[in-house]
Homo-oligomer: A and B are copies of this chain.
Amino acid sequence: MITAGKGAMPLYIQIRELLIAKISKGDWLPGDSIPSEMNLSQELGVSQGTVRKAITELVEYNVLRRKQGRGTFVSNHDSQRALFHFFHIVDAKGHRVMPDSKVLRCHRRHASHGEALKLKLKDRADIIRIERVRNLSSSPTMIETITLPGHLFKDWDELDSGNLPNMLYELYEKQFGITIHSAEEQLRAVAATKHDASLLNLQAGTPLLEIERVALTLNKSPVELRISRCNTKKHHYENTIL
């Protein structure tokens, strides 16, 4: 399972994905304590530092929680909600993958007519626009264009826009008191533009899965419009209809 050498994923990311797989398969349940770093490093045949790096990321994403003097525990479902509930992209084996993000641009502008309609704003209202590329399994797989109503995110410009966290919903909640409760998604197949193609290392015209998501608060107010264009060669969107 663990591979090394040129072109392979960094080791700590492989370990991180392996730990996520254990949680999403239910080997480790919410509230369970996980083995110590030393035991995991022996079991997996990697250094303790590598295990620690993987766990530290999962703690940052609220998938795991460290309790002083008691060990590391799988978070409850609420904390995992952001990662597992709203993110439907999985790898060919159906495993949840953790996206990494690189912000390309973050600026203020006026809403287009379509954006205003979707976010229930006035035409040309003040908005914040974030463009970022997300890596899945270490390769650039998604381009996200995120639009936020300026009046809801007043002190946005005080953030270090080059260093935005990977999980934005948590930022919205902690810094702006905005909790995403549900989302409406529209999925279409589109052709990669030249710009998409250069960011995702593929040919212009390649079919991409476009996910247009409007995220809503508990009282159904739209607070974020997110358009994701995904390369589905090695990953796909998973939906269970119950």
Contact = CB atoms under 8 A, between A and B. Distances in A.
Interface in A188-237: 188-191, 205-210, 230, 232, 236-237
A59 interface: no
Nearest to A242: B182
B209 A189 contact: yes
Nearest to A183: B241
A155 to B, nearest CB: 28
A78 B191 CA distance: 38
A237 B190 contact: no
A122 to B, nearest CB: 22
A28 interface: no
A190 B189 CA distance: 8
A238 interface: yes
Chain copies in the assembled complex: 2
A89 to B, nearest CB: 10
Interface string A2-28: 000000000000000000000000000
A60 interface: no
A240 interface: yes
Question: Which of A185, A191, A232, A239 is the most central at the interface, judged by chain B CB atoms within 10 Å of its CB?
Answer: A239
Given A207-B207, A209-B209, A237 B183 contact: no
Nearest to A186: B236
B207 A238 contact: no
A188 B85 contact: no
A61 interface: no
A237 to B, nearest CB: 4
Nearest to A86: B241
A208 B205 CA distance: 12
Nearest to A210: B189
A5 to B, nearest CB: 29
Contacts of A230: 189
